[in-house]
Structure 1
Amino acid sequence: MSNFWINLYKFPRFLIGVMVGFFLTTFQPIFKLLNDKNKISLFTFIIAILIGICYKIIIKMLNIE
């Protein structure tokens, strides 16, 4: 039974480690993309379009005029 409590005590560290690893492996290609000046403008343009689309969708969903 003591192994259970030891494992339960270690779980938050494990969870934080998994989340940090996930974000590092997800965003690493994006950081490599940002080393080139031409790709920075393309990346910024794509992000701006995605934010605009999300904004329009939320406005339509909430029926705000």
Structure 2
Amino acid sequence: MNNFWTNIFRYPRFFISSLLGLILVIITPFKSLFKTSSLRVFSILFILLGIIALSNVLINMLGL
């Protein structure tokens, strides 16, 4: 029974490390975009546009 609880307590640590690994794998290709100045500006504008669009959708969905 002790082995069962140690395995249960390991799952959150596994989940966090898997999630961090996934985020790093997703972010790594974008690092090359920031090396070129024209692509850097385009990337920042694209990210800002995505954040504005997401906030606009959430505001309209929630009726705020």
Band the TM-score falls in, shorter-chain normalisation: 0.7 to 0.9
Task: State percent identity of aligned pairs.
Answer: 27
State the distance in 2 between where 1:59 and 1:14 align. Answer: 34
Residue 24 of structure 1: how far off its partner (Å)? 0.5
User: Bigger radius of gyration, 1 or 2?
Assistant: 1
Of structures 1 and 2, the one scoring higher in RCO (CA 8 A, sep 6+) is: 2
State the distance in 2 between where 1:30 and 1:46 align. Answer: 12
Q: What TM-score, normalized by structure 1, do the two folds share?
A: 0.72
Q: What TM-score, normalized by structure 2, do the two folds share?
A: 0.72
Root-mean-square deviation (CA), in Å?
A: 1.9
User: 2:23 — aligned with what?
Assistant: 23
State the distance in 1 between where 2:48 and 2:28 align. Answer: 20
Aligned residues: 63
Q: Which runs of 5+ in 1 are unaligned?
A: none
Q: Which runs of 5+ in 2 are unaligned?
A: none
